[in-house]
Amino acid sequence: MSRPYVLLSAAVSLDGCLDDTGPERLLLSGPEDFDRVDAERAASDAVLVGAGTLRADRPRLLVNSPARRAERVAAGRSAYPLKVAVSGSGEVDPGDPFWTTGGDRLLCTTDQGSKLAHARVGGAAEVVPFGPTLDWAALLDHLGSRGVRRLMVEGGARVHTQLLQLGFADELRLAVAPLVVGEPDAPRLFGPGSYPGGPRGRMRVLDTERVGDVIVTRYAPTVPGAGSTATAADRHWLRTACELAEQCPPSTTAFSVGAVIVAADGTELARGHSREAGDPVVHAEEAALGKLAAGDPRLATATVYSSLEPCARRASRPKPCARLIADAGVRRVVTAWREPDTFVPGADGIGVLAEAGVTVAEVPELAGAAMRPNRHLVAAGAGQDSRDSL
């Protein structure tokens, strides 16, 4: 099961502070930005917060809009996303509104802290220990196993720092308020240490918008060794595509490939895999695109993630996948493994895409994952076999 897409959400002052040192919480955002955050919660499967933020801010982490709750229910989801708290010690206040308001609740703790956690909130939340020191990888795997695809992290600074430093953050949405705190001891968003993307943890800016009187910018952490065009979010979605390839019916003449289409705001639009729904010749990208309406305006800024380079030529359909992607209006593709020439000599899907103005990023660190469901072809002596001989 794939780990969730991890979105870090925070608001800071112009000098990078999350709060001031006063006894009352400093409100950095206005009504418009609070509504934006509410919409992000409604789009998430789970919302996570650290114990320090629980103590300082006492958030409820609810979807406040009745219309958004109704949309979730109409889509077969719970009215509220799963609420997740992280406390290594298990020392939380059972009277905190986090535990007494709507939504299912999960308390993630350590082996040592689980006994106290059960005593504090055992009746109000599920308590799950994750090792002698809290294991973030195990925690994210656990959330993935529960069907959490999108995780919104709302603090605090220690949680944000750990997830970013460990390479588990796929996106940062940062609201910057037009004020200066000016206090040297005020809490700041990230702590000291090394970060992905180089010595200074440089990120790629995805987009920026004005929301009321704050500026909200979306950042994507870069992937070490994968080139400047690939991000941590790319690695997440491409790993998901590789996992989809594992679901393909086996074949001795065709590759197993997975594909995911993701909107510019990081939400999944569609997914597919080779030979899906009993079609013996359908390709992964073709299956995913087929689930969206022709001319869907979101495709113009979407990214297609495919475990194998989209095909440049095929006999089983009028158009190869590279052409289908370009004709759909998609302008970005991320892949892990280049199309070999065993069955289609000289195939160059990346070249076809480039000629059509589509940017292609490669993440070779995931080539092994893309090849794994095709190991029977490699073992049979095909080396890097073609995905489709039809």
Q: Taking residues 197-210, what's their average pLDDT?
A: 77
Total domains present in the chain: 2
Residues 96 and 191 in one domain: yes
Q: Are residues 201 and 283 in the same domain?
A: no
Domain limits for position 330 = 232-382
What is the identity of the amino acid at 48? L
Closest by CA position to 191, among listed 216, 168, 159, 222: 159
Q: Is residue 138 assigned to a domain? A: yes
Q: Is residue 308 part of a domain?
A: yes
- The tens digit of pLDDT for each residue in 155-172 reads 889 999 999 988 889 899
What does the angle CA 292 – CA 297 – CA 303 come to, to the nearest 5 degrees? 70
Average of per-residue pLDDT values in the chain: 89
DSSP string, 101-129: SSS-EEEEE-TTTHHHHHHHHTTTSEEEE
3-state secondary structure 146-193: CCCCEEEECCCHHHHHHHHHCCCCCEEEEEECCCCCCCCCCCECCCCC
**Are residues 210 and 239 located together in one domain of the fold?**
no
User: What integer pLDDT is reported at residue 201 of this predicted model?
Assistant: 65
13 and 139 belong to one structural domain: yes
CATH number of the domain enclosing 208: 3.40.430.10
CA–CA dist 149, 151 (Å, integer)? 7
- Same domain assignment for residues 271 and 362: yes
Residues 273 and 194 in one domain: no
Q: What is the pLDDT of residues 62-83, one digit of tens each?
A: 999 999 999 999 999 999 999 9
- DSSP class of 94: T
Question: CA–CA separation, 173 vs 7, rounded Å?
Answer: 7
> Are residues 192 and 241 part of one domain?
no
pLDDT at position 384: 36
Residue 316 burial class via C-beta count within 10 angstroms: exposed 0-12, middle 13-18, buried 19 and up:
middle
Judge if 257 and 208 occupy the same domain.
Answer: no
Asked whether residue 227 is assigned to any structural domain, the reply reads: no
User: Which residue, of 221, 242, 257, is where some domain finishes?
Assistant: 221
In a domain, 197, yes or no: yes
pLDDT on residue 253:
87
What average pLDDT does the segment 355-374 reach? 89
Residue 305 scores a pLDDT above 90? yes
Is the residue at 354 inside a domain? Answer: yes
Residue 255 belongs to a domain with what CATH number? 3.40.140.10
Q: What is the pLDDT of residue 228?
A: 44
User: Is 226 within a domain?
Assistant: no
Is residue 150 scored above 60 in pLDDT?
yes
Same domain flag for 139 and 78: yes
Distant-in-sequence, close-in-space partners of 215: CB < 8 Å, separation ≥ 6: 175, 176, 208, 209
- Tell me, yes or no, whether 143 lies in a domain: yes
CB 83 within 8 A of CB 105: yes
- What percentage of the chain carries pLDDT values higher than 70? 91
